[in-house]
DNA sequence: GACTCGAGTGTATGCGCATACATTGTGGGA
DNA sequence: TCCCACAATGTATGCGCATACACTCGAGTC
C-alpha cells in the first residue's frame, strides 16, 4: 500500500487548486468540462480515493447510518480461524439445529431493506451486534461514526439510547410504539392477529380456541394479544370461553405448552403468538398422531422461512421485514432533513398467509 | 440535536487540556486516576461522543472493515415506504418463493462471522451491496471509509478491485484461489465433493451416477467438478461411464436437468454441484413418483437451510459460512499488521452431512 | 543540596477535505 | 468604450482529534 494520494496530489498533477478538485468530486456542474476532465484523469492515474474521514470532518456528517441488532457471540467459538489441514473431510450425520435460522433470517431481511434504502439515499450502512459486555463502549463507538442509528428493539438499554439520541436520530425497530421521544418502526401486530383470529373464529367457525401468548416483556406480544382479544369481541366470543396461556416464543416452549394443552381437553384450534411456538406445537401434535388441520388448526405469527417448510406448512401473519429495514432508514433520513419533526411511528402493513395448518375455507 | 460537544468542551469543563482528554479515552493508563475521573465525569455530563471522522483523520485509520456482497435491488420495489393505512390486513394464500432464502442465508452467516471477528479485533463493519449501476462509485466510496475490504467473489469487477487494492487490503471471499495478488478465503470445495462422491461410489457402491455441474464461470464449481473426477479415479470408475451435465445453480435449472436425465435411462445416483440444483432434482423425482433414496440417491453442496427441510432431507457438503466471514476479517487484519505479507489463501474445512437423500450405509 | 529521571500534563501541529470568501476573466448592456 | 454581473477558479480556514515534543514537578541519587 503506497501512501494514499490526496486532493493536493491530484491538484498538483492536474494543475488546478484543491478547491477545484473537491468541486469536481462534489459538484461537477460547477466546473468547466475541460477542467473536470483533466482532474478526473489525474484521479484515475493516481488511484485517488477520497478519505471519508476527512470529508466527514469537514462536512460535519458522515453519510453513514448504523444498524444495531441483537448479539449472538455465544454461538461462535473463540478459537482462531484455521485453514483446513490436509484434505480431510469428516462425514457426519444430520446436523439439524432448528434454533439458528429464525432470528437470523429476520435480521437478514431487515438488513437487506436497510441497505437498499440507505444506498438509495446516499448513505452507507454500518452494522453492529449488541453484546452483553461493554455494550456501552460499542454503542458510543458506533454513534460517533454515523449520522443516525436504527436499533432492533430491546437490543440496547434505554438510557444508553437516550444518551446517543442527544446527538443523532435514533429509531427503534420492530418493538412497541412506546411513548418516548424516539421514532418507531414496526408492523401492525394487533390488526394482523385480529384478522387471523377472526378468520379462525368466523370463517372456520371455530370457537374452541387456545391462544399461546409470548413473554410478558415483549411489546409485540402484547399487541398481538390485544388483537386476539379484539377478535373475540368482533366474533362475539366471551374471553372466559377460551384459554390463554403463556410461553416464551421458542420452539421448545411451544412443545411444552402444547403438552399442557393436550393434558386437558383438546381444542379445535391453537393460535400462537409467533411461528416458533407454532412449530413446537406442530411437533407435538404430529408426534401424538393428531392431524392438522383436520383435528386441530394451528397458526403462527412472523412469516419465518421455516414455516414454509414445516409439515404441514404453517399459516401465519407475515411481517414485511425488508420494508421494516427500509422504513427505519427512511425515518432516520427524514429526521436528518428536519430535526424538529415530532417523534414518529411508522406501522407497516402485514399479511395473513394461509397455508396447510389453517387453510382457506 | 444540540451541537455535539468536542474534546475542547470536555477539556474546559474538567479543567485539563485536550491532550489529556484524548489520553483518557485512548490510553487511560497514562493518566492519573484522579484526573481521569474528572474527565470521564465531564464526558458523561456533556454527553460527549468522540467523532470517528476526526479520529480517523488524525490517526490515519478508520478501524472499519468493509464487506461487499452481491446485490439484489431487482427484488425490491422502488416505492416509498408507507405506513399501514387503516387496519386492513389482506388474507393471501401461500406465498412460497423458494428463490429468496438461499443466497440470503449464506450471506447472513458470512456477515455474522465477519461482524463477530471484526468486533473482537476492534473494528466496526460496514456493508454494501454490489449493484449493477454505478458500481464504481460505490466501491471507491466504501473504500475511502474502511481500512480493508472483503468482497464476495464475482461481486466486483477485477480492475475495480485492483484499483482499490492499491490503497487498502482486499480479500476475496468464497471464490476460486486465483493466481492474483489478493488474499483469498474459501472452503475446500474439491476435497468436499471428492469425499462425498467417494461415499456414493464406494460406501454405497453406486457407480451408475450422473453429475450436474454448475455454470462454467464459477470457480467453486470447477473445483467441485475436479473433486468429483478425483473421486472417480479413487474409486476406479472410468469417466466415460458417468454422465456429466451442466446446469446453472438454480432450482429451476435443477428441475430442467432432472427432466433431461430421466429422458434417458434412470441413474442410481444424481450428484449436484449445489443444493439448489439438488432441490430442483428432488422436485422432479417426487413428481414422477421416483423414490429417494430407494430408487435414486441425490446429493447437493453448500448446506443451505432449505436442504434441512426438504423431503427427503438433502445430503450435502456443508460450508462453514460463519467461519468464512471470520477468516476474511482475519486475513484483512493480518495484512494490516504486516502489509508485506505474501498473498495468502485460506481454505476452510467442510463437512459431508448425511441426510435422507443419501443416508449413511 | 544540586542533579537526574520519569510520571503527568500542556502546547502545537497536521491529518484531508469542504467551503466561505477573494480574485480573475468574460460577455453584454449602457 | 466602460462598467457590471456572473462564471470559473484560487486562497485561506476550520472541522475534532492524536500525538510529537516541551514542560513541570517531585522523588530518588550521590
Q: pLDDT per residue over A183-220, tens digit each?
A: 999 999 999 999 999 999 999 999 999 999 998 877 78
Q: Among A24, A54, A86, A87, which would you mutate to test the B interface (most chain B Cβ atoms within 10 Å of its Cβ)?
A: A87
Residue of B nearest to A87 (CA): B191
Sign of CA dihedral B5, B125, A332, A346: negative
Q: Which nucleotide has the least CA–C1' distance to A59?
A: C18
Strands, sheet with B297-299, edge to edge from the N-terminal-most edge strand: B243-246, B209-213, B269-272, B297-299
φ/ψ of B86, rounded to 5, equals: 65, -155
For residue A96, pLDDT over 80 is answered with no
Q: What does pLDDT average to over chain B?
A: 88
Residue A314, min C-alpha distance to chain B (Å): 9
Answer yes or no: do B92 and A353 touch at CB < 8 A: yes
Burial of B80 (0-12, 13-18, 19+ CB in 10 A): exposed
Of the candidates A49, A85, A116, the beta carbon closest to that of B140 is on: A49
Answer yes or no: do A90 and B352 touch at CB < 8 A: yes
* Confidence band for B99, pLDDT divided at 50, 70 and 90: very low
- Strand, helix or coil at B9? helix
For residue A94, pLDDT over 90 is answered with no
Answer whether any strand C atom is within 7 A of the Cβ of A8: yes
Residue of A nearest to B193 (CA): A89
Burial of A268 (0-12, 13-18, 19+ CB in 10 A): middle
Answer whether any strand C atom is within 7 A of the Cβ of B60: yes
CA of B16 to C1' of D24 (A): 15
For residue B322, pLDDT over 90 is answered with no
Of the candidates B49, B81, B195, the beta carbon closest to that of A143 is on: B49
Lowest-confidence region among A16-25, B17-26, B66-75, B154-163: B66-75
Place of cell 394487533: A190
- Chain A 47..76 CB hits on strand C (< 7 A): 48, 50-51, 54-55, 57-59
Task: State mean pLDDT over A61-77.
Answer: 77
Of the candidates B49, B96, B348, the beta carbon closest to that of A83 is on: B348
For residue B88, pLDDT over 90 is answered with no
Number of helical (H) and strand (E) elements in chain A, helices listed first: 13, 13
Which helix or strand (DSSP H or E) is residue A246 part of?
strand A243-246
Chain A positions touching B89 (Cβ under 8 A) are 188, 191-192, 194-196, 317, 349-352
| Angle at the Cα of B6 from the Cα atoms of B22 and A53, rounded to 5 degrees | 80
Answer yes or no: do B93 and A351 touch at CB < 8 A: no
Answer yes or no: do A49 and B84 touch at CB < 8 A: no
* Confidence band for B30, pLDDT divided at 50, 70 and 90: confident
Q: Return the beta strands (E) in A33-100 as ranges.
A: 64-70, 91-93
Answer yes or no: do B104 and A112 touch at CB < 8 A: yes
Chain B positions touching A317 (Cβ under 8 A) are 89
Answer whether any strand D atom is within 7 A of the Cβ of A57: yes
Place of cell 489478493: B182
Answer yes or no: do B167 and A116 touch at CB < 8 A: no
- Strand, helix or coil at B152? strand
Cell numbers describing residue B18: 485536550
For residue A100, give the DSSP letter.
G
Residue B264, min C-alpha distance to chain A (Å): 31
Burial of B30 (0-12, 13-18, 19+ CB in 10 A): exposed
CA of B38 to C1' of C8 (A): 15
| Euclidean distance between CA atoms B281 and B271, whole angstroms | 10
Chain A positions touching B306 (Cβ under 8 A) are 305, 309
Chain B positions touching A93 (Cβ under 8 A) are 353-355, 360
* Confidence band for A89, pLDDT divided at 50, 70 and 90: confident
What pLDDT shows up at residue A102? 52
Burial of A44 (0-12, 13-18, 19+ CB in 10 A): exposed
Task: State mean pLDDT over B248-275.
Answer: 94
| Euclidean distance between CA atoms A225 and B185, whole angstroms | 47
What pLDDT shows up at residue B92? 87
For residue A236, pLDDT over 90 is answered with yes
Answer whether any strand D atom is within 7 A of the Cβ of A23: yes
Answer yes or no: do A352 and B90 touch at CB < 8 A: yes
- Strand, helix or coil at B233? helix
- Strand, helix or coil at B268? coil
The domains of chain B, with CATH numbers, are 7-50 (1.10.260.40), 64-72+102-187+321-348 (3.40.50.2300), 189-319 (3.40.50.2300)
Residue B324, min C-alpha distance to chain A (Å): 9
Rounded alpha-carbon distances, angstroms, from residue B158 to A264, A273, B66: 65, 48, 17
Answer whether any strand C atom is within 7 A of the Cβ of B137: no
- Report which of B200, B271, B274, B262 is spatially closest to residue B237, judged by C-alpha positions: B200
End-to-end CA distance of chain B: 66
Give chain D positions with protein CB within 7 A: 7-12, 14-20
Cell numbers describing residue B138: 460505490
* Confidence band for B85, pLDDT divided at 50, 70 and 90: low
- Report which of A322, A224, A204 is spatially closest to residue A275, judged by C-alpha positions: A224
What pLDDT shows up at residue A99? 46
Rounded to the nearest 10 degrees, the angle between the axes of helix A33-46 and helix A7-14 is 120
Of the candidates A83, A350, A355, the beta carbon closest to that of B94 is on: A355
Task: State mean pLDDT over A26-36.
Answer: 89
Rounded to the nearest 10 degrees, the angle between the axes of helix B7-14 and helix B33-46 is 120
Higher pLDDT, residue A80 or B39: B39
Percent of chain B exceeding pLDDT 70 equals 89
| Euclidean distance between CA atoms A169 and B284, whole angstroms | 52
Q: Is the peptide bond before B195 cis (omega within 30 degrees of 0)?
A: no
A85-94, A130-139, A201-210, B72-81: which is most confident:
A201-210
Residue of A nearest to B339 (CA): A1
Residue of B nearest to A120 (CA): B78
**Are B219 and B153 spatial neighbours (Cβ–Cβ below 8 Å)?**
yes
Give chain C positions with protein CB within 7 A: 7-12, 14-20
Count of CB pairs separated by less than 8 Å, A with B: 288
* Confidence band for B178, pLDDT divided at 50, 70 and 90: low
**Are B352 and A89 spatial neighbours (Cβ–Cβ below 8 Å)?**
yes
Amino acid at each position: 500500500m503506497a501512501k494514499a494520494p490526496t486532493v493536493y496530489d491530484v491538484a498538483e498533477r492536474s494543475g488546478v487548486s484543491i478547491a477545484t478538485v473537491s468541486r469536481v468530486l462534489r459538484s461537477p456542474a460547477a466546473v468547466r468540462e475541460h477542467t473536470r476532465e483533466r482532474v478526473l484523469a489525474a484521479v484515475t492515474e493516481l488511484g485517488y480515493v477520497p478519505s471519508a474521514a476527512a470529508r466527514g470532518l469537514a462536512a460535519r456528517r458522515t453519510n453513514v447510518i448504523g444498524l444495531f441488532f441483537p448479539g449472538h457471540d455465544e454461538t461462535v467459538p473463540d478459537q482462531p480461524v484455521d485453514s483446513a489441514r490436509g484434505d480431510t473431510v469428516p462425514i457426519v450425520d444430520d446436523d439439524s439445529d432448528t434454533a439458528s435460522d429464525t432470528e437470523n433470517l429476520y435480521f437478514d431481511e431487515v438488513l437487506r431493506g436497510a441497505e437498499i434504502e440507505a444506498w438509495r439515499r446516499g448513505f452507507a450502512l454500518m452494522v453492529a451486534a449488541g453484546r452483553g459486555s461493554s455494550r456501552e463502549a460499542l454503542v458510543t463507538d458506533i454513534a460517533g461514526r454515523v449520522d443516525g442509528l436504527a436499533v432492533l428493539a430491546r437490543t440496547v438499554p434505554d438510557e444508553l439510547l437516550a444518551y446517543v439520541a442527544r446527538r443523532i436520530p435514533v429509531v427503534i425497530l420492530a418493538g412497541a410504539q412506546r411513548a418516548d421521544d424516539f421514532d418507531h418502526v414496526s408492523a401492525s401486530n394487533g390488526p394482523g392477529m385480529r384478522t387471523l383470529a377472526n378468520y379462525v373464529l368466523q370463517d372456520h367457525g371455530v370457537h374452541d380456541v387456545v391462544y399461546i401468548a409470548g413473554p410478558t416483556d415483549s411489546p409485540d406480544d402484547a399487541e398481538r394479544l390485544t388483537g386476539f382479544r379484539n377478535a373475540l369481541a368482533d366474533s362475539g366470543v366471551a374471553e372466559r370461553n377460551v384459554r390463554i396461556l403463556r410461553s416464551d416464543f421458542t420452539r421448545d416452549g411451544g412443545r411444552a405448552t402444547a403438552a399442557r394443552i393436550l393434558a386437558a381437553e383438546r381444542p379445535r384450534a391453537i393460535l400462537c403468538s409467533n411461528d416458533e411456538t407454532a412449530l413446537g406445537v406442530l411437533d407435538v401434535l404430529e408426534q401424538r398422531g393428531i392431524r392438522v388441520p383436520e383435528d386441530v388448526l394451528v397458526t403462527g405469527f412472523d412469516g419465518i422461512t421455516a414455516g414454509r417448510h414445516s409439515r404441514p406448512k404453517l399459516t401465519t401473519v407475515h411481517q414485511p421485514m425488508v420494508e421494516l429495514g427500509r422504513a427505519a432508514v427512511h425515518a432516520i433520513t427524514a429526521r436528518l432533513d428536519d430535526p424538529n419533526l415530532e417523534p414518529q411511528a411508522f406501522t407497516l402493513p402485514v399479511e395473513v398467509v394461509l397455508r396447510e395448518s389453517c387453510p382457506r375455507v
